[in-house]
């Protein structure tokens, strides 16, 4: 999506160091961290919100969660939050699905 900031980060037309990447998703630091660790785990596929995801995309959503778990283990986080904000009223500001990994 040409106007999507996360698509631009994935394509690295906006440079942002990727902490993790695989064939389905990437992870990078949130620009306004809410805790010592605050990463965004973002699918390469542009889907605006969790509410827009269809059945075929269910494994992709699961992949984001297990990637969050792996990154948390890699970073030695003993406890953490994995959070999707869904829709404007749900606090979502960037309309490309992303999973927040927040912890310390
Ligand atoms: P949302 O509120 O949509 O769930 O979360 C969007 C997150 O993206 C926010 O926590 C915000 O700080 C982060 N963010 C917005 N623009 C950028 C950016 O250009 N780069 C990075 N790394 N994070 C961003
Ligand atoms: Zn996008």
Domains, the chain, in order of start with CATH, read: 5-103 (3.30.428.10)
Residue (of 57, 56, 79) closest to 68 by Cα position: 79
pLDDT tens-digit readout, 93-104: 999 999 999 999
SS3 29: strand
Residue (of 46, 47, 39) closest to 18 by Cα position: 39
Q: What is the pLDDT of residue 70?
A: 98
pLDDT band for position 1 (cuts 50, 70, 90): confident
pTM: 0.98
Catalytic, 32? Answer no
Choose the catalytic residue: 63, 96, 98, 100: 98
Which residues are near ligand 2, the ion (C-beta closer than 5 Å)?
A: 1, 4, 6-7, 46, 96
pLDDT tens-digit readout, 29-87: 999 999 999 999 999 999 999 999 999 999 999 999 999 999 999 999 999 999 999 99
């Amino acid at each position: 999506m040409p106007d999507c900031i996360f698509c631009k980060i994935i394509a690295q037309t906006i440079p942002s160091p990727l902490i993790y990447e695989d064939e389905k998703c990437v992870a990078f630091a949130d620009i306004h961290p809410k805790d010592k660790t605050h990463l965004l785990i973002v699918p390469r596929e542009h889907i605006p919100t969790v509410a827009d995801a269809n059945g075929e995309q269910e494994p992709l959503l699961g992949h984001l969660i297990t990637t969050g778990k792996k990154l948390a283990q890699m970073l030695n986080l003993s406890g953490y939050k994995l959070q999707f904000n869904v829709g404007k009223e749900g606090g979502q500001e960037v309309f490309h699905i992303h999973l927040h990994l927040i912890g310390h």
